Amino acid sequence: MTLEQANGGSAPSHDHNKDRHNGDKRRPKRSRFRNRPRRPQRRTFPSDAKLYGALDLGTNNCRLLVATPSHGGFEVVDAFSRIVRLGEGAGANKRLSQEAMDRTISALRVCSNKLKYLKVDRFRLIATEACRMTDNGALFLQRVKDEIGLELEMIDRATEAQLAVAGASPLICEDATRVLVFDIGGGSTELAWLSIENGEQKIEAWTSIPAGVVTVAEEFGGVFVDEKVFAAMREKIRPSMEKFSKETKDFCKDGQGPCHLLGTSGTVTTICGIHLQLPRYDRSAVDGCWLNGHDMGSVTQELLMMSHQQRAASPCIGEQRADLVMAGCAIFEEIRAIWPTDRIRVADRGLREGILASLMKEDGVYGKNP
């Protein structure tokens, strides 16, 4: 079973979703703000299945994924995600606050308990921008080791970009020869140019821009965002994007942009969920979905016209992320402006999936049934 099957079936294409929402008159259009339905029961797995774990501690989220090798890739056994805002305020003073560290310790205890309870055989635990950019990031990771027993690895930006690409690359279109992969994080944004020849993918160039949804929102404010504030956000981000574009102009020497964009981040998955008018966020509907530039731009404009309270009421955003979503949209709009294309694929996968795939490939079990 593939990763998509493990999460409720294959992701729909853009045309399918358009037909479902616009052409099927037998089903009434659902409100975006309806109460969430019950989740399906968790599946059970063989007791002897070898389990792998991947933890991604970022600037905004703490995420854990546990999976077992399966035909076509791997099958998800358990997952955990909590907004911890570890990097809250760190962009200004270059230090992790006591409150943020305490919140993160609480989430990491849950992750530790899951790893122990499930008896995960192999795992890799990584920390990214919040710990990299702060003076006490290394001290915090030592505290995690001392108090919880988890040893997190502070990876560099190159490794982060490689893992994000590895996690999302299965969604690259088969006929694509050149793709721009981007990951809008809490404290940084990774961009990577991929070339594809005879089915082989190669990272031709990459960069990590020190601007993410948390750092941008904290600089400009995320509660009241009008067109003027939004334009200022974009202007702040633009020079770094343009610098990477100039550095990689030879890669696009024929004057053509990417065959398509591949976005892996909460920003693009949120925009996709809103575009699909989901009554609650549904990974199986979002992951792998194709959208065009008009779809994404329309949602951004719709969000820009909303109040903070209205954005918080959206089930695909929520109160905890309402002050961050417009910062993410600003970064995404700059990416679309500099590398225009009408084909955008959305990936609800990234670092954790990249870690799992790499661990299983090292053991020679990736894509194999246990």
- Tens-digit pLDDT profile for residues 132-177: 999 999 999 999 999 999 999 999 988 998 999 999 989 999 899 9
In-domain check, residue 335: yes
Q: ∠8-11-15 over CA atoms, to 5°?
A: 140
Asked if residues 163 and 355 have their Cβ atoms less than 8 Å apart, the reply is: yes
Q: How many domains does the chain have?
A: 1
Q: ∠319-88-325 over CA atoms, to 5°?
A: 40
In-domain check, residue 60: no
> Where do runs of H (alpha helix) occur along 202-307?
213-220, 227-247, 266-275, 283-286, 293-305
- The DSSP output letter for 85 is -
- Which range is least confidently modeled, 8-12, 183-187, 315-319? 8-12
CATH code, domain with 172: 3.30.420.150
Taking the C-alpha atoms of residue 360 and residue 181, their distance in angstroms, rounded to an integer, is 23
In-domain check, residue 277: yes
Could you tell me whether strands 189-197 and 200-209 are parallel, antiparallel, or unpaired per DSSP bridges? antiparallel
Neighbour-count burial of 288, counting CB atoms closer than 10 A to its CB (0-12 exposed, 13-18 middle, 19+ buried): buried
In-domain check, residue 136: no
Token reading at 237: 């981000």
Residue 186: count of CB within 10 angstroms of its CB: 31
Taking the C-alpha atoms of residue 192 and residue 162, their distance in angstroms, rounded to an integer, is 8
Residue scoring higher pLDDT (363 or 256): 363
Q: Residue 244: give the domain boundaries.
A: 168-350
Is the per-residue pLDDT at 282 higher than 60? yes
Sole residue written with tokens 């063989």: 46
Taking the C-alpha atoms of residue 17 and residue 35, their distance in angstroms, rounded to an integer, is 21
Q: How confident is the model at residue 77 (pLDDT cuts 50, 70, 90)?
A: very high
Is the per-residue pLDDT at 42 higher than 80? no
In-domain check, residue 186: yes
